[in-house]
Chains A and B, each alone.
Chain A
Amino acid sequence: GDSVTQMEGPVTLSEEAFLTINCTYTATGYPSLFWYVQYPGEGLQLLLKATKADDKGSNKGFEATYRKETTSFHLEKGSVQVSDSAVYFCALSATYGGSQGNLIFGKGTKLSVKP
């Protein structure tokens, strides 16, 4: 079945450092890909999405490009802030049978940004 693998954390960076969180997927079809963010004590919020190969999703300085050839959707930000401290989840929309459209999540990567 479809699955998502993302780099394990926690990741600790200094403010203004460059961020990369790796995400790879396995899917039988052509899923949409997502990054969700969960701030402490809050629910999941959609950060960005891409629906087809070579699409780039972007929001709040974060970017991710849908790479079909490497089945990847890595999250990047050029300069992180303390307020970016959160847990980041990579997800795909399932492509098979009755589960089509359901989200399948990675385990999450906790990011801590130090001032």
Chain B
Amino acid sequence: EAGVVQSPRYKIIEKKQPVAFWCNPISGHNTLYWYRQNLGQGPELLIRYENEEAVDDSQLPKDRFSAERLKGVDSTLKIQPAELGDSAVYLCASSPQTSTDTQYFGPGTRLTVL
């Protein structure tokens, strides 16, 4: 069974530029999460989807971050414009259903903003 797929694995951009990250969850997993992991810290949730609905986006900085999960499968996280402080690893995770605790993580996208 394929795991959570993320792309790109690495991205380097200039500040004020836009950037997008893509995630394909494990087949059949209804719940999808985006986390941000700063250097030396644990992951912090940005947004959680149940199917195509964003059910918890309370930690998403909505002035510059947006996300979508069309058709309840793949998801895209966008930052526009990027700031220096956005440099981090962006992790996508999925779980089978809302009542299931175990989350399966992708390898992440390491973003560097110069």
The interface of chain A, by Cβ under 8 A from chain B, is 4, 32, 34, 36, 42-46, 49, 51, 89, 91, 93, 98-99, 101-103, 105-108
- Cβ distance A7 to chain B, nearest Cβ, rounded Å: 13
Contact A32 B101 (CB under 8 A): yes
Residues of A within 8 A of B99 (CB): 101
Residues of B that sit less than 8 Å from A by CB: 4, 33, 40-45, 48, 55-56, 58, 91, 93, 98-99, 101-108
Q: A44-B91, A98-B58 are in contact. Are A105 and B43 (CB under 8 A)?
A: yes
Interfacial chain B residues near A45, Cβ < 8 Å: 105
- CB neighbours of B44 from chain A (8 A): 105
Q: What's the nearest-Cβ distance from chain A to residue B44, in Å?
A: 7
Chain B residues closer than 8 Å to A49, beta-carbon distance: 101-102
| CA A93 to CA B55, docked complex, whole Å | 16
